[in-house]
Structure formats: C-alpha cells, structure tokens
C-alpha cells in the first residue's frame, strides 16, 4: 500500500507540473492550450540536445549537470511558449473560442511533426539516465534520484504558488483573469503579462520533460500527446484555473492511476484515468477546489 502511494505521488508530481501551464493559461485568457503537452516534449528534446552536445557525464556529476540543463531547458521552452502565444494565439484573442481551440490543436500537430522532421520518427535514448540503489522505508522502495526529482517538482510548484499569490506580477495575473479590459485601463500591460504567463507555464512543462526523459530513459516526438491529456485531466480534477487545485489534481490523478493499475491491471491505466475525467465533468465540472462563476456577457 505504501509503495502504491509513493508511486502515485511520484507520477502525480509530473502531471501537476504540466497541468499548471494549462491552468494558468485557461485562468487568464480562457484558452485550452492543447499544444501545451508538446512543450513538455520539446523540453525533453531540448535537454536531450544539450546533454548530447556535452558528451559523456561522469556519474558523480549526473545530478548537478542535469539540474544545470534543467534550467537552460526551462528558459528555451519558456521562450518557445512565448513565440507560440505571439504567433498562434494573440492574433485570435478576440475571435470565437472555437477558432482558438482549433488553432491550439493545429499548433500541437505542428510542434509534434516539426520535431519528427528534425529528430526523426524513432525513439531516442536519453544521454543521462537517473538510476540508483533502491532504499526501503515503511514498505516502499525508492531511490535518491526519485527524491531529488520530486523535490525539484515541489520547489517549482511552491515557487509558482508564491509568485501568483504574493507578488505584484501575480496580482496582475489575477486582475487580468477577472477583467482584462479594466486591467488594461488601470495601467496593466495585458499582452506582456499574458506572454510571461506562457513563459512560466511552458518552462514548467519543459522541466517536467527533462526529468521524465532522464528518469524513464526514452523520448519520442509523440510523448507529449498523452501526458497533455493527462495534465488536462489533472487540471479538471483539481479545478482548472485554480493553481492549488491543479497541484492537488495532479497528485490525485497519480494516486488514482497507481491504485487503479493495481486493482484492474496496467492495460486499464489510461481507461481508468479518462473515466475519472468523464466522472468529474459529469458530477463536479468545477473540480475539487474550483468555484462556479457566472460569465459576463
């Protein structure tokens, strides 16, 4: 039982990191950015390119080098998110939401198959693989590398929560989420804040991509598709647009998958996860911590 909980929390931390970008963008401009999962894939390949360029990495230096690559990848993936917003979404911000949704799907395919052209269709083996001796604590087996990865995820999530709730930038984000027109009249640069929101959300997705590549050891150009849907599921479970709820939703989804796999078998893992999504959309569409709001027309 303890092992199932640990496995669920570990996987859920990845879901939560990716889901935060979904939630932030939706909370501010009400856009379901279905290309967000592909930024996770882009982060994994960016880390792959940097690590391949560095050549061999001594075992003792694996974690420090990986953390340095993680920071570089967050910057590059964040900038990719800014370009995506500027090119694909900003010109259509006043258009019907269906147009934005179709554009997001098109951007997703463009990133996926653009990477297929650049990196090829075959899976790539990550230059660095995080593995170590497992330690047993209270019946659960884990490694130091797993603790480091989940620790990095927690630090990033807590840092984001503090940014949104305790800083001037966070207040601007929350103001735009409530009323972008009034925020603009009050002197807030709406376009700049939205660009920074895309940067932060994309950087978190890129960080998750690097950590997943280093831990699982294999990446491919379609790896962002499924985790993008899982991240959307996590955001819905927690309450899309709610930062704390999204973090909770990622962990809950990880735990549900862990226990569902144990009860039903590994082949039912995705069926169970998306069944939970349908259940939440039917019973509680606002999620665990989301609030029902009345949209102004």
Locus of tokens 């395919």: 109
CATH of span 2-283: 1.10.3470
Average pLDDT over residues 204-224: 90
pLDDT of residue 107: 94
- 242: CB partners within 8 A, 6+ apart: 23, 27, 287, 289, 290, 291
Q: State the burial class of residue 119 (Cβ atoms within 10 Å of its Cβ: 0-12, 13-18, 19+).
A: middle
pLDDT of residue 26: 87
Predicted model pTM: 0.88
pLDDT of residue 199 exceeding 90, the answer is: yes
pLDDT of residue 116 exceeding 90, the answer is: yes
- 282: CB partners within 8 A, 6+ apart: none
pLDDT of residue 233 exceeding 70, the answer is: yes
- What b-and-e string marks burial along 219-245, b requiring 16 or more CB atoms within 10 Å of the CB? bbbbbbbebbbbbbbbbbbbbbbbbbb
The residues spanned by each domain of the chain are 2-283
pLDDT of residue 53: 84
Task: Please provide the average confidence, as pLDDT, over all residues in the chain.
Answer: 86
- 15: CB partners within 8 A, 6+ apart: 227, 230, 231, 234, 249, 250, 251, 253, 254
How would residue 60 be classed by pLDDT, with cut points 50, 70 and 90?
A: very low
CA gap 42, 199 in Å, rounded: 14
CA gap 198, 175 in Å, rounded: 16
CA gap 288, 257 in Å, rounded: 17
3-state secondary structure of 140: strand
């Amino acid at each position: 039982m303890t092992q199932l909980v640990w496995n669920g929390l570990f996987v859920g931390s990845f879901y939560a990191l990716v889901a935060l970008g979904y939630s932030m963008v939706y909370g501010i401009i009400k856009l379901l950015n279905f290309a967000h999962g592909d930024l996770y894939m882009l982060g994994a390949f960016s880390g792959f390119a940097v690590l391949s360029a560095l050549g061999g990495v001594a075992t003792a230096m694996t974690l420090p080098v990986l953390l340095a690559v993680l920071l570089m990848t967050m910057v590059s993936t964040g900038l990719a998110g800014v370009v995506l917003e500027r090119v694909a979404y900003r010109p259509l911000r006043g258009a019907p939401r269906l147009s934005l949704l179709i554009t997001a799907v098109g951007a997703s395919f463009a990133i996926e198959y653009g990477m297929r052209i650049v990196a090829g269709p075959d899976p790539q083996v990550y230059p660095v693989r995080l593995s170590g001796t497992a330690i047993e604590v209270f019946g659960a087996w884990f490694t130091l590398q797993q603790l480091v990865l989940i620790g990095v995820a927690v630090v990033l999530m807590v840092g984001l929560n503090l940014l949104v709730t305790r800083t001037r930038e966070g207040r601007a984000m929350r103001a735009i989420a409530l009323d972008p027109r009034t925020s603009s009249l009050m002197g807030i640069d709406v376009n700049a804040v939205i660009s920074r929101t895309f940067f932060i959300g994309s950087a978190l997705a890129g960080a998750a991509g690097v950590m997943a590549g280093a831990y699982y050891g294999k990446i491919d150009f379609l790896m962002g598709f499924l985790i993008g849907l899982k991240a959307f599921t996590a955001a819905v479970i927690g309450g899309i647009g709610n930062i704390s709820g999204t973090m909770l939703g990622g962990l809950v989804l990880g735990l549900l998958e862990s226990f569902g796999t144990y009860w039903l078998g590994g082949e039912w893992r995705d069926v169970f996860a998306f069944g939970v999504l349908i259940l939440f959309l039917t019973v509680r569409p606002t999620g665990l911590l989301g609030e029902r709001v009345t949209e102004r027309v």
